[in-house]
Chain A
Amino acid sequence: MSTLPSFLNPNLEKSQRRQRKKDEVYSARSAAHSNRRYTVFPGSIGSTYLYNRYPCWLSVCDPFLQIDLASQIVRIATTLKVENAGSDPVSEVLFAFPDHQAKNLALLVATTTEGKGKTKSSSGSLPIEAVHPEGMPPALTWYTVSLPKGLGKGESLTLDMMAVFSHLLRPFPEKITQGDIQLVVFQDSAHYLSPYEVKRQSVRVKLPEPKVESYTKLENTKFSGSEITYGPYENLPSFSYSPMAVHFVNNKPFAVAKELVREIEISHWGNVQVTEHYTLLHDGAQSTGEFSRLDYQARPQVKGASSFRNLVAMLPPRAHSIYYRDEIGNISTSNIYSDSTKTLLEIEPRYPMFGGWRTSFTIGYGLPLHDYLFHSEGKRFLKIFFGCPMNEMVIDNLIVKVVLPEGSSDISASVPFSVKQGQETKFSHLDMVGRPVVVLEKTNVVPEHYQHFLVHYKFNSLSLLREPLMLISGFLFLFVACIIYNHADLTISKSSASYLAKLQWDEVQASIQQVLNIINRCIATHDKVEASLRDLSRTGDAQACKAARKAADNLLKELSKELKPLLTFLQSSSQAVQILPKVEELVAKERELQDRIMSKHSTVVDCYEKKSSGRDFDNRVAPIQQKITALRQEVDDLIEVIDEI
């Protein structure tokens, strides 16, 4: 691997103590962008760059670097012991990363372990600051760790550093075909890069598979299994640097979400709806040439080694209503395994992801509200995970949107790491003023960012009822409006002829309807009379039959009385002129029918009482019956005619 560029001048190793000066603190970002190339440190600079603030009489004992290359994410865990060899107490420790690493640095955490080895008590993460000491070599990015308390003379402290890098592994070659395995290169220093002197150190590189194309062989290099160990090296001067590169097989999914938008919507009716929109890219070696499904299906391990087929998301427990789709519909290739501690969602993109292939999809799920929403001091706060639930996925740009219910106020978000915060408004179902949305943006997110964050806000529970009430009142108004419309007279000119005529016509119609009702009742009475005749033939009770007739007579008389005022009204009304003759004809016919039926009744009763013969009976009744039938037909026809008007 001698072809790899050497990052640092070997002269550097010889540089000794340096002069001190004050420096300025730069933001990490500007430092990261300062220079992309790995410049060689000139020896002269080396002697002039340490100052008061970053005393160099610290020495580092026994740093142990563990570089985990098992996935696309590089994790460098450093355990080191800091000793104050000088006289003044020290409160900050400097760390440096080469720029090419620092610009991909996703997370840097430092913890101290107090006590002497066995009784460890982690005191939480220490504050870390990006600094830019003046005069330092530009290809390094500096961070200081503030120690929990000053380190007195001769005292020592054990620090645990965890640095997580994304995009640090470079595929080499950059383009491979379907059948090739994916090789990546990792470059670092075998020596612990530090402004301090190092007494003894070693580096262990952990690989995903025990297959290595090549690796830098230095003294004390061991390769066993899937681990490469460099060191131990002893008594290294400050800034010692020994380039090391590993070119190895890594077929782990290089799943990179170019953008992930997580929308967390709180409903105080009891649900937290999480929707995650992924724009995914396989960021490993680009796939070129043919893609043969045949080869892929026949020997997926060989002919699709660099691709990945599925992703696993570790959703919170009790996640429900999980869906997985993209813009053209549901994707049917997913599985869920759930138990009380977690919900595992295994999803397959629509097609196997080869290098350089992209896809996009959306997963969504609901969570029970009471697991994530809490009260404190009159405020509510949501405590939910920030990062993405996918296994070993790097997110270039993560946007978390927390949609709070309409009417929330006093909103503040606290996130354990620096993010860009913003606010917007979202209109959803039946919103009047919109829901406040807290927007948190962060670049370069790794699984270690899957941590809780809090959103505090105030919300009045009564606001919950706003939307149902709105709906109810909306429908109420609709119905009331309908009722009013139906009952209100919207005629513009109340004195116009047509309006008056219409009113009159309505009255006429009403009275005609009444007339018809009365006639119908008359006919019903006729039916009763007929029925009494049948009873007579069955029971032979002539008295009852007569009584029935009398009752019918009375009823009919009453009815005809009722009919009179109606008829007079119709006669007086000008609107009824057309229909009046028909009505009058109807009344007349009905009356005739009445008479006929009565006469038939009396005849039948008479015959019955006289016990006349069947033939005689027929002779007498038949003509009447004929007339009745005819009359009835006429009446019915008339009724129909009038009814249709």
Chain B
Amino acid sequence: MAASETAKDLALRHAFGNVLSFFILVLIGVLAFSIRLFSVIKYESVIHEFDPYFNYRVTQNSCKGKKIMLVEEEAVFVCYLCLEEEVDNELIGNVYCSIIGIRLTYVAGDMDLLWFQFLTKNGIYDFWNWFDDRTWYPLGRVIGGTVYPGLTLTAGTLWWILNSLNIPLSVETVCVFTAPVFSSIAAWATYLLTKEVKGTGAGLTAAALLAMVPSYISRSVAGSYDNEAVAIFALIFTFYLYIKTLNTGSLFYATLNSIAYFYMVCSWGGYTFIINLIPMHVLLCIVTGRYSSRLYIAYAPLVVLGTLLASLVPVVGFNAVLTSEHFASFLVFIIIHVVALAYYIKGMLSPSMFKVAVTLVVSVGLVICCAVVAVLVALVASSPTKGWSGRSLSLLDPTYASKYIPIIASVSEHQPPTWPSYFMDINVLAFLVPAGIIACFLPLSDASSFVVLYIVTSVYFSGVMVRLMLVLAPAACIMSGIALSEAFAVFTRSIKFQLPSLSGVSQVDAGNSDSGSAATTQTEAVKADKIEESTKERPSRKNRKKEKETVEKPSVKSRIEKRLLVLPLESSVIALLLLVLLGAFYVVHCVWAAAEAYSAPSIVLTSYSHDGLHVFDDFREAYAWLSHNTEVDDKVASWWDYGYQTTAMANRTVIVDNNTWNNTHIATVGTAMSSPEKAAWEIFDSLDVKYVLVVFGGLVGYPSDDINKFLWMVRIGGGVFPHIKEPDYLVCWRIVAMLSFDRICCVIRDGQYRIDSQATPTMLNCLMYKLSYYRFVETDGKAFDRVRRTEIGKKYFKLSHFEEVFTTHHWMVRIYKLKPPKNRIRGKTKKSKSVRVHYLFSMTRRSSPLLSHNSSSLLSICCFHSLFGRKLAQQQAQKEVEQERIPGIKPIILETVVTPGLCNTYFPNRHDDRTKRLQSLLIL
């Protein structure tokens, strides 16, 4: 009777505990979701950042049945492309442009949204084969092969499910809320992982910590539709399944693990972290003599299945077996088989026989290994970067980037973090992590050793690159969860143990039995009660739940430890209080970070002044203007930062965008921006650009404008086109010294970037300067730039090749139109005439066999081509002229007089100025 009753009681308590932890998990999910909604509540439900608009565009326009180009990567790629590597968007995320210390947040959700829209409309196969001609004009971009489709597919599935349930959420809404939803799921995955390592209490604590860790919030606020949002979930879940497999030895979980790994590969380039960390752990286990069949089951299927699955993702493809990032896993795969064989043979043979066998196997194995390694090394060494991508190299050698790729160095996200950024991003967790590591060693299991390895490696990587703080955050949460949970367990246990039976404790503590006085016990009991109450009212759920867990725990274990670790009542009470304070501080910090630091969308800016809130919605003003008041086929040139947004919000073709896979192209735009007006006009005209967009913050003091980024345009442009030289744009110290001869303090300014009257003439005549400051002086009469805090150097000038067509309310975005070329004046433009003639010819020759002597048809074909991609053809023509492949055609064309009427016959519906241009072109 009694036994069954206790069993029932126990079962009930178990059930109660389960229900309780279920509710706590639900609440954690709600917390993780809602803490990320500040951006939506304070601003609105839009994709917030510059980059996320790419994805949005894909989805949207494809819904209209229009194919658009997907572009999703970002600045970082510039670097990689410098290395001439394949596209890799692992580094999408917040890029802090470090020019003049200004921080710019980029999140790459845009583009994901666009893909997603495309996906929802056209299905997966069209998605893979999608060629987007809206970006990187005139190159275009193959989407399927250049994006990590995980996020897009995820959101697409969500959208599809909702819509098939007749819940008509818009694509945009789904995209905005994907990140918060997935951070909830990531919190649950953290719970699972930590539970596998250290039990439910630690799991719940870690989940609560992760739900609000600022580092993760920064990438997953509502509206940042970003790869990292789902990738962190995938990362944690993959680790959980690995540990689960390791603990159970179940092949089922091993298979799930491979699938989770596949999802991670789909989502983020950071999957290489997994495929290196797990082999490291396996190796660690083997070395420390922890090899078991469970380890084999956890690892071998993952490598085989995981690699096969990973190579299904078009972006990864053969990289899954070809690049050095994956070699560690294969090497360990071999090692684990050798070890497995060794254990197997050991079981079969007698000890003496085994010794013989060992020598045999070791010698043979060594030879084979050497051979394999040699082959691998040879293969790897044959590739220019030794098989390592620039990112990985800069990870392994922190100085690599700054030494070889200045553009990588330019992105401050790739700089080592500063101490404040640790405090900002993981806050008190930084102090709890060491305690967690210690707790993991008591006792050390396979799982806890994995977590220790995880935190150690991620600390290293985060020390190399700021953005990898994101990988550190879950590890720190797990460790701190373990630490907090253990600490609470110890303290509450001490209190609980001392409260009901004070003397019992003292008996065990030997000798103290008689000293305990009832009076003190009484007061302490009251105190402890109070504490228990106060802990229940704690702001964060995490502490309460953990404490409940420990109290609830019916296990015998706690009983044992109870006897082992009992702390004095007073100190445990105080320690508990302090821990609660620490937790409260963490919560306050996280909420602040979520509300203030990370929720401001870069697309809408706000400022508070004495007369209330000011909204700077200039970006959208400009994009809306572009989308409604320009032709659909017009090309817009801007610095790549605004590429995604222009394609997504303004729906116009751009020259370069945040997926910076082609450095030359970016350099062309950079060169144009840093050239004088006429040269810039020619470059833009050759790219068929019709509008040029610049961002100018001088009027309202918006610091991350194009003038502040201008030096990078010069550098990147100069990297490809040597006639652009950075020193030309910088004030050299000698000049400064001359100008300020009587002021010696100024002499030390060497190579300073400035736009005031001391700036170099090159600087003052470049296109970017002119477009930014055009008629700026008339605003206040002095032309005082509020960002640079100086008066500008050249105040009065006119534009001859560009005209202002739109400027937003706060002048933050200025759009200029290329003026049509002036009518040709006879005799003056001889050179260009011949070029045009050749161009006409070459186009005809290439396109039609009837080029021969029927000059009118020839010209009509020429005209036709001149309307489509004239400049490209022109270049080709020039080339052919140089090669002298077109003899005799020049006279023919020169003799032909084409009347404007001919043009009209062929292009009655053409746009006016185009026709005009054509006419001027044809009347030779």
Contacts and interface: CB of A to CB of B under 8 A. Distances in A.
Contacts of A562: 2-3
A329 B43 CA distance: 10
Interface in A412-462: 427-432
A597 to B, nearest CB: 12
A537 B808 contact: no
Nearest to B10: A517
28 contacts: A290-B803, A294-B807, A327-B60, A328-B46, A328-B649, A329-B44, A329-B46, A329-B603, A330-B46, A331-B617, A332-B615, A350-B624, A350-B625, A351-B621, A351-B624, A351-B625, A356-B629, A359-B624, A513-B7, A518-B3, A523-B559, A531-B504, A558-B2, A562-B3, A625-B510, A632-B563, A636-B556, A639-B556
Contacts of B3: 514, 517-518, 562
Interface in A498-536: 510, 513-514, 516-518, 520-521, 523, 527, 530-531, 533-534
Interface in A617-645: 625, 632, 636-637, 639-640, 643
A293 B808 contact: yes
A291 interface: yes
Contact of B556 (A329, A356, A632, A640): A640
Contacts of A298: 778
A292 B799 CA distance: 13
Given A359-B624, A429-B166, A290 B805 contact: yes
B519 interface: no
B503 A428 contact: no
A517 B624 contact: no
Most chain A Cβ neighbours within 10 Å, of B503, B563, B779, B803: B503
A516 B507 contact: no
B168 A643 contact: no
A285 B628 CA distance: 17
B624 A326 contact: yes
A356 B629 CA distance: 8
A591 interface: no
Given A358-B628, A427-B168, A531-B503, A537 B46 contact: no
Contacts of A360: 628
Contact of A514 (B7, B167, B503): B7
A348 to B, nearest CB: 10
Contacts of B625: 350-351, 357
Interface string B10-23: 10000000000000
Interface string B590-619: 000000000000011000000000010100
B46 A534 contact: no
Contacts of B514: 537
A289 B808 contact: no
Interface string B546-579: 0000000001110110010000000000000000
List 3 A-B pairs, minimum CB-CB distance, nearest first. Answer: A293-B807, A329-B46, A636-B560
Contacts, number: 122
Contacts of A531: 501, 503-504
Contacts of A430: 165-167
B10 A294 contact: no
Nearest to B816: A290
A427 B513 CA distance: 76
B649 A294 contact: no
A398 to B, nearest CB: 20
Nearest to B557: A640
A550 to B, nearest CB: 18
B678 interface: no
Interface string A268-309: 000000000000000000000111111000100000000000
A351 B806 contact: yes
Contacts of B166: 427-432
Nearest to A521: B6
Nearest to B501: A531
Contacts of A289: 803
Interface in B615-668: 615, 617, 620-621, 623-625, 628-629, 649
Contact of B44 (A330, A510, A513, A518): A330
Interface of B: 2-3, 6-7, 10, 43-44, 46, 60, 165-168, 501, 503-504, 507, 510, 513-514, 555-557, 559-560, 563, 603-604, 615, 617, 620-621, 623-625, 628-629, 649, 775, 778-779, 803-809, 811
B556 A643 contact: yes
Nearest to A513: B7
Contacts of A637: 560
Contact of A328 (B556, B563, B624): B624
Nearest to A348: B809
Nearest to B555: A643
B629 A358 contact: yes
A285 B26 CA distance: 60
A326 to B, nearest CB: 6
Contact of A292 (B556, B615, B617, B804): B804
Interface in A451-475: none
Interface residues of A, number: 52
Contacts of A292: 775, 804, 807
Interface string A342-356: 000000001100001
A177 to B, nearest CB: 12
Interface in A557-578: 558, 562
B804 to A, nearest CB: 5
Most chain B Cβ neighbours within 10 Å, of A351, A357, A520: A351
Contacts of A521: 2, 6
A482 B287 CA distance: 45
Contacts of A429: 166-168
A294 B557 contact: no
Nearest to A429: B167
A534 B503 contact: yes
Nearest to B518: A538
Given A517-B6, A562-B3, 12 more contacts: A290-B803, A290-B804, A293-B807, A351-B621, A513-B10, A517-B3, A520-B559, A537-B513, A537-B514, A636-B563, A637-B560, A639-B556
A292 B46 CA distance: 30
A529 to B, nearest CB: 11
B46 A291 contact: no
A128 B166 CA distance: 46
Contacts of B778: 294, 298
Nearest to B776: A294
B837 to A, nearest CB: 33
Contacts of B60: 327
A47 B617 CA distance: 67
A359 B628 contact: yes
A359 B620 CA distance: 12
Given A514-B3, A531-B504, A350 B621 contact: yes
A430 B165 CA distance: 6
B518 to A, nearest CB: 9
A337 to B, nearest CB: 18
Contacts of B46: 328-330
A292 B7 CA distance: 83
B617 A527 contact: no
Contacts of A329: 44, 46, 603-604, 620
A527 B504 contact: yes
Contacts of B649: 328
Contacts of B513: 534, 537
A351 B7 contact: no
Contacts of B504: 527, 530-531, 534
Contacts of A432: 166
Contacts of A510: 7
B618 to A, nearest CB: 9
Contacts of B555: 643
A316 to B, nearest CB: 25
Nearest to B223: A329
B501 A351 contact: no
Contacts of A625: 510
B215 to A, nearest CB: 27
Nearest to A432: B166
Contacts of B620: 328-329, 350
